[in-house]
Amino acid sequence: MMELDLNILQQLGYIFSAILFIYGLKMLSNESTAARGNVVSSIGMLFAVLVTVIEIVNPVLVLSAVLLGALIGSAFALKVKMTSIPEMVALFNGFGGLSSFFLAWSEFNNFSVISLIMILSFMTVLIGGITFSGSVIAFFKLSEILKGDNNFLNKASRWFLIFSILFVIIAVIQVIAGGLGYELIDLALIQKTFIALLIISLLAGLAFVLPIGGGDMPVVISLLNSFSGIAAASAGILLTNTALIVAGCLVGASGLVLTVIMAKSMNRTLYNIFFVGYESSGSSAAEIDGEIKPISAEDAYLVVEAARSILIVPGYGMAVAQAQHVVKELGDLLEENGCEVSYGIHPVAGRMPGHMNVLLAEANVSYDNLLEPKDINPTMETVDIAIVIGANDVVNPSATEEPGSPIYGMPILEVHRAKTVMVLKRSMASGFAGVQNPLFFKENSRMLFGDAKESISKLVAEFKD
Residues 70-129 contacting other proteins, CB under 8 A: 70, 72-74, 76-78, 80, 82, 85, 88-89, 92-93, 95-96, 98-100, 102-103, 105-107, 109-110, 116-117, 120
User: How many of the chain's residues bind other proteins (CB under 8 A)?
Assistant: 107
SS (H, E, C) the chain: CHHHHHHHHHHHHHHHHHHHHHHHHHHCCCCCCHHHHHHHHHHHHHHHHHHHHCCCCCHHHHHHHHHHHHHHHHHHHHHCCHHHHHHHHHHHHHHHHHHHHHHHHHHHCCCCCCCCCHHHHHHHHHHHHHHHHHHHHHHHHHCCCCCCCCHHHHHHHHHHHHHHHHHHHHHHHHHHHHHCCCCCCCHHHHHHHHHHHHHHHHHHHHHHHCCCCHHHHHHHHHHHHHHHHHHHHHHHHHCCCHHHHHHHHHHHHHHHHHHHHHHHHCCCCHHHHHHCCCCCCHHHHHHCCCCCCECCHHHHHHHHHHCCEEEEEECHHHHHCCCHHHHHHHHHHHHHCCCEEEEECCCCCCCCCCHHHHHHHHCCCCHHHEECHHHHHHHHHHCCEEEEECCCHHHCCHHHHCCCCCCCCCCCCCHHHCCEEEEEECCCCCCCCCCCCHHHHCCCEEEEECCHHHHHHHHHHHHHC
Which of 3, 29, 152, 279 forms a contact with other proteins (CB under 8 A)? 29
The residue range among 57-65, 137-145, 282-290, 304-312 that interacts with other proteins, by the rule CB under 8 A, is: 57-65
Binding other proteins (rule: CB under 8 A), the pick from 6, 12, 56, 173 is 56
- Per-residue string for binding with other proteins, 257-276, x by CB under 8 A? xx--x---------------
Contact region with other proteins (CB under 8 A), list: 158-166, 255-263, 383-391, 395-403: 255-263
Q: Does residue 335 interact with other proteins by CB under 8 A?
A: no
Among 149, 332, 372, 384, binds other proteins (CB under 8 A): 372
178 binds other proteins (CB under 8 A): no
Q: Is 5 a catalytic residue?
A: no
Nearer to other proteins, 7 or 296 (CB): 7
Selected from 7, 143, 269, 366, the binder of other proteins by CB under 8 A is 366
Give the residue, chosen from 31, 375, 401, 454, that forms a contact with other proteins under the rule CB under 8 A. Answer: 31
Residue 175 binding other proteins, by CB under 8 A: no
Binding mask 32-51 for other proteins (x = CB under 8 A): x-xx--xx-xx--x--xx--
Shortest separation between residue 384's beta carbon and other proteins, angstroms: 26
Indicate whether 7 belongs to the interface with other proteins (CB under 8 A): no
232 scored as a contact of other proteins (CB under 8 A): yes
CB of 32 to other proteins, least distance (A): 7
Q: Which of 216, 368, 384, 393 is catalytic?
A: 393
The answer to the question of residue 61 lying near other proteins (CB under 8 A) is yes
Select from 19, 22, 156, 288 the one that contacts other proteins (CB under 8 A).
22
Beta carbon of residue 3, minimum distance to other proteins (angstroms, whole number): 13
Any idea which residues carry the catalytic annotation?
393
